Amino acid sequence: MYEDNIRILLDALGGQVLENRQDPTATLAVLMTETLRFRDKLKAETGQTLTVEDTQTALDALEHYLIHETFPDNLTSEQRALAQIYVDRLTVFS
C-alpha cells in the first residue's frame, strides 16, 4: 500500500515537474525507481521510513532546483539526499 501511495504521488506530480522533458513517462519511471530504491536502502540501513510527505518535499525540491539551480534550505537530510538523487539521475538520464 505504501508503494502505491508513492506511485500515485509521483504520477500526479509527473506532469508538473517533467513538462519540459522529451519523454516524461521514461523520466517518471526513473523517479519512481529511484524513490523506491532510496526508500528500501534507508529502511535497511537506518530503520527509518521514507514518507509520502518526504517524497513530495523531495519532488518540490527537484522542481525548485530545475528553476533556480539550488535546493531549498528547509530540507531534512533524507529529503535532500533523495532530491540530489533525482537531480543526478535526471542529469545522466537527459
Tens digits of residue pLDDT in 3-57: 666 666 666 555 555 555 567 777 888 899 999 999 999 999 999 999 999 999 9
Strand intervals (E) in the chain: none
Tens digits of residue pLDDT in 55-90: 999 999 999 998 899 999 999 999 999 999 999 988
CA atoms of 33 and 30, how far apart (whole Å): 5
Angle at 39 between CA 7 and CA 10, to 5 degrees: 20
Q: What is the pLDDT of residue 5?
A: 65
Q: What is the pLDDT of residue 2?
A: 61
Domain borders along the chain are 2-93
CA atoms of 93 and 9, how far apart (whole Å): 21
